[in-house]
Amino acid sequence: MHHNRLRVYYGPEERAAPATIPMRDEVTIPLGEVLPLLVDAARGRRAWIDDFADDQITISSDLYEILMAYQHFQRPGA
């Protein structure tokens, strides 16, 4: 005779989701890899962009100088 065994279902088992990148606080990638994605998200007014508006980023000093010069010349009347 075959006996059925009943089990209590507690929901799905917790498994680590496969990640495409390791979960770390910081990741270093080329600007050319991330910039097109950020531009597209900003143009599309994606809500998640606002979630990161106050995050700090680290850029090279020469890129910072170029950005400050660009900002200066973008001002009206400059």
Q: What is the pLDDT of residues 4-54, one digit of tens each?
A: 777 777 777 766 655 566 667 778 889 999 999 999 999 999 999 999 999
The CB-side HSE value for 47 (13 A sphere, CA atoms) comes to 0
Q: Residue length, the chain?
A: 78
Per-residue pLDDT, 22: 61
**Alpha helices (H) in the chain, listed in sequence order:** 31-43, 47-51, 61-74
Per-residue pLDDT, 31: 93
Phi/psi of residue 65, nearest 5 degrees:
-60, -45
